[in-house]
Structure 1
Amino acid sequence: MTSALHIRIDRSAPTTLTEQIRAGVLAAIDSGALAPGARLPSWLALAAQLGVARGTVKAAYERLADEQVIVSSRPGGTRVADHPASRAGVAPQSEAETPPALYQHLFGGAAMFQMGVPGSDGFPASLLARLRAHAARAETVAPALYPDPRGEIELRREIAAHLALARGIECRPSQVFITAGFAGALGMTLRVLGVEGREAWMENPGFFQSRKALELARLVPVPVPVDGEGIDVFQGIERAPAAALALVTPGQQAPLGATLSLARRVALLAWAARTGAWVLEDDYLGELQLERRAAPALASLDREGRVIHMGSFSKTISPALRLGFIVAPAGLVGSFTEAALCFGSAPGPAVQHAIADFMREGHYMRHLRRMKRIYSAKSHALQAALEANGYRAHIGGLGAVMYLPDDVPDIDVAREARVHGLAPVPLSPWFSPGTTHRPGLLLGVATVDEARLPTACRQLHRLIDNAALKARPRSSR
């Protein structure tokens, strides 16, 4: 349906009707069809023309007025502002909503080999729905008070108890702070530490999003090599002995999967105690170790209060919960409390109470045991399917690392794979810029569909062969 403003309404589009009307008015102004001072139809008139509710048009006009694009007055009606707010340099909506290439694996639906999300099979959807509905009802009848910015005490107690049993960490609920996922935990921690301008050890390869977070916090990431024993602590001391912190994944190194050896754990903690540095432990998988019992958390060995432990429920339950947590050393509890009061962004109480009930009733441990069995079977099936196509992969954590020939661009292979419904992640962006790296693909174990696995691996094999053929010099073809 089209109006005199040439606004097209599409009721099947994911964009709201209000946003479609707003965009249509902006397009008319940008094209010159509506000049400064031009009068717009009334809410009632435009609603009748478009076949929408008057309130929908009113909401669109109010947003445009807030943006200083239009002005409203009773005698003069609604008009385009004489000097509408400049839109120069504003990206088109479709471009603005497109995430950077490195982060596109975090968006959209789950696909084969997608990293960073748990599998849907075995997920206790009905149970969690019931617990969340109960918590939501309780929240609506509770007094309208500000929630505790540190997080709901019930959830903090359950996390403290769980960490004592599963990760060997002895802490009080007062040391636990609830955050919006791991990203919220890392952001709050960097604010509290106040180490801008100083160096920070960063695993190489390591999670590129964490590396970028350090840069945004105005730290200088120093790449420290990783091998079969985890981060090379002695290389870190040689390259940046006075670094303010080390950001590490000691449980299962991301992305290669190695567990930090005991010797290196001791050396890392000794360096931190000697220099006054902080160790940020990203325990992204917790105890979700597929082949054996998970090693205790690094924080369980800390006797000097230098380790800040961070975890989340994103990989074990769902990233949609946006539930993360920090275990602060006793000496930093006051600073973290103040930061939570001023900057805290813990999710709403309802989801916290639901997960607290999920843990308290024993469902969380049962869920972890079930998912370990499912993921272990998937990892073995993936290994066999890759070997059937002539590839070997190292399974580390919930990802398989498959190295490619040096002349095969892993970013191109991953991009082409998405066209075919596969979502491997290229390995090269996990390495710090300017450092030596080997191309490879990271294949998520949790999202493997065993029925489709042979076909998916054959498709991946063809894509790699095609990329290798394109990469060869024409003279050698």
Structure 2
Amino acid sequence: MPKRAAGVSLPFLQPETGGGAPLHRQLYERLREAILSGALAPRSRLPSTRTLARELGVSRGTVEGAFAQLDAEGFLERRVGSGSVVALPEHARLPRSITAAPARRSGPLARPGLSRRGQRLSRDVLPPEPRDVQPFTPCLPALDLFPTHLWGRAVAKQARHLRPGLMTAGEPAGFRPLREAIAAHLGTARGVRCGWRQVLVLASTQQALDLSARLLLDEGEGVWLEEPGYLGARAAFESAGARVCPVPVDTEGLRVEVGTARAPKARLAYVTPSHQYPLGVTLSLPRRLALLEWARAARAWIFEDDYDSEFRYATRPLAAIQGLDVAGRVLYAGTFNKVMFPSLRLAFLVVPDALVEPFTAARAATDGHAPLLSQAAMAHFMEAGHYAAHLRQMRLAYAERRDALLDALRREAEGWLRPGAAEAGMHVTALLAPGWRDGDVVQRTEPKRLGARRLSPLYLGRGGEQGLVLGFSGASPAGLRAAVRVLSRLMG
């Protein structure tokens, strides 16, 4: 009778056929897991490859491939005539909790080892941006009207004549021709007073907020934040350890006197003066001057987020606060992502002269610089006049889309949804009638993918208004009318 090789029984090794990983890989992973977890004790002798192949109903080559990999990684010790034994010593075994499949967990225990700032940053999760076009998505540009042929030419021109200067590392503050084009445009269109050296090219306004929070705020220092206000600003300042102080907004914008009373020694004030997010009101001139005087006296900073100020429909766009600043206390942020298209990832921050060097050094220490090819294409797009022409066309288109939304709301939602200020921007905020909850409304509309946002979470304190933030720039007039009809049917 032929002699059979002895060894431990391995019924758990039976591989799965009909798809999945290759059989030899399955066998390798199961043996490795058994050795690491201690299910196969050190010095255990395994069956021969011939015996194990017969027991599992696989080819000997499959078993040989798994054994060879384990031998190469030090899990098995193979000797001619003696078979294979587990080589991993007792002290090298891993705890079962490490080798087992990780379970989903939530809360602080799921994030061991984070710093205090890391815990704050991971807690402040912003709502995900939709990856498709939804009718009411706020601040979504008219992608259907974007001049892709002109942009394509700008990109192709830079790519065809790609020179070494665009292929090496760029300046941390940005591509000089683009910085010059931005400074020229802001001086003419927004009344911003700056030289090109004060302009930093970034990926987004959110990056500008994060950079400013890192450089200008120490743990526990106060920050004025509009109430209601932009969640991204709140997240940036809270993650930096700042003490966020909500300052109410009325029909004239931020109530500076309330901020002065609540937090007179705050280090920074975040404002959206040309088109307040989300209520859409404009900061009046007396309050702009009062804000500047407070910043000068308190030696505080003002972060002016001019996110969609180019789009004003009844009058010319209002000049920026930065142009009134004589004390060098205003940081001015703007973005191309809301004028061009979201995935462009180009924005800018204009800083006072005293902050140019530290902000440039900090940019170099974080992500280096923005992609040079897209910066060069954007510079060409602006220098050729395409950017200014695109802005003019979008003002006309967005005015038509705004009117369509307001008309549809009057026809379909009168009595339970009241639109607010709509003289500028890319969205309208509408308050719900008493008894309605914006969370319930948005939950009902989610299956229809309308893109409406809740107003109440934008309040830091309790007692915030119930309403909807409705974008109008990303959908056609007909699409907006249809979306309002759907919304009304869902709420009827």
Q: Which residue of 1 aligns with 2:323?
A: 300
The TM-score with structure 1 as length reference comes to 0.79
Q: Which residue of 2 aligns with 1:265?
A: 288
Paired residue for 1:320, among 324, 336, 343?
343
Is the 8 Å Cα contact of residues 160 and 176 (structure 1) preserved in structure 2? yes
Deviation at 1:193, TM superposition (A): 1.2
Select the structure of larger CA radius of gyration.
Answer: 2
The TM-score with structure 2 as length reference comes to 0.76
Quick one: which amino acid aligns to residue 459 of structure 1?
V
Is the 8 Å Cα contact of residues 140 and 426 (structure 2) preserved in structure 1? no
Distance 1:459 1:161, change over 3 A: same
Matches within 5 A, 1:164-243: 164-243=187-266
Matches within 5 A, 1:281-430: 281-389=304-412, 390=414, 391-394=417-420, 395=422, 396-430=424-458
Paired residue for 1:114, among 137, 158, 167?
137
Quick one: which amino acid aligns to residue 404 of structure 1?
L
Is the 8 Å Cα contact of residues 105 and 115 (structure 1) preserved in structure 2? no
Quick one: which amino acid aligns to residue 258 of structure 1?
V
Is the 8 Å Cα contact of residues 217 and 242 (structure 2) preserved in structure 1? no
Distance 1:332 1:72, change over 3 A: farther
Quick one: which amino acid aligns to residue 35 of structure 1?
A
Deviation at 1:126, TM superposition (A): 1.6
Using the aligned pairs only, state the percent identity.
35
- Distance in 1, matches of 2:382 and 2:426, equals 22
Deviation at 1:140, TM superposition (A): 7.0
Is the 8 Å Cα contact of residues 251 and 286 (structure 1) preserved in structure 2? yes
Is the 8 Å Cα contact of residues 213 and 236 (structure 2) preserved in structure 1? no
Q: Which residue of 1 aligns with 2:178?
A: 155
Matches within 5 A, 1:58-97: 73=72, 83=94, 88=102
Quick one: which amino acid aligns to residue 394 of structure 2?
M
Is the 8 Å Cα contact of residues 245 and 279 (structure 1) preserved in structure 2? yes
- The size of the alignment, in residue pairs, is 412
Deviation at 1:450, TM superposition (A): 2.0
Distance 1:440 1:291, change over 3 A: same
Is the 8 Å Cα contact of residues 32 and 70 (structure 2) preserved in structure 1? no
Q: Which residue of 1 aligns with 2:34?
A: 35
Deviates more, 1:139-148 or 1:446-455: 139-148
Deviation at 1:109, TM superposition (A): 0.5
- Distance in 2, matches of 1:273 and 1:224, equals 19
Structure 1: state its 5+ residue gaps: 10-20, 40-69, 466-477
- Distance in 2, matches of 1:155 and 1:383, equals 37
- Distance in 1, matches of 2:218 and 2:103, equals 34
- Distance in 2, matches of 1:165 and 1:199, equals 34
Is the 8 Å Cα contact of residues 383 and 392 (structure 1) preserved in structure 2? no
Is the 8 Å Cα contact of residues 111 and 422 (structure 1) preserved in structure 2? yes
Is the 8 Å Cα contact of residues 288 and 316 (structure 1) preserved in structure 2? no
Deviation at 1:173, TM superposition (A): 1.1
Q: Which residue of 2 aligns with 1:437?
A: 464
Distance 1:114 1:32, change over 3 A: farther
Per-residue CA deviations over 1:127-167 (Å, capped at 9, x if unaligned) read 11221233234447557532111111111010011111011
- Distance in 2, matches of 1:163 and 1:137, equals 29
Cα RMSD, aligned residues only: 3.3
Per-residue CA deviations over 1:175-196 (Å, capped at 9, x if unaligned) read 1111111111111111221433
Matches within 5 A, 1:274-285: 274-285=297-308
Matched, 1:127 2:150: yes
Quick one: which amino acid aligns to residue 240 of structure 2?
A
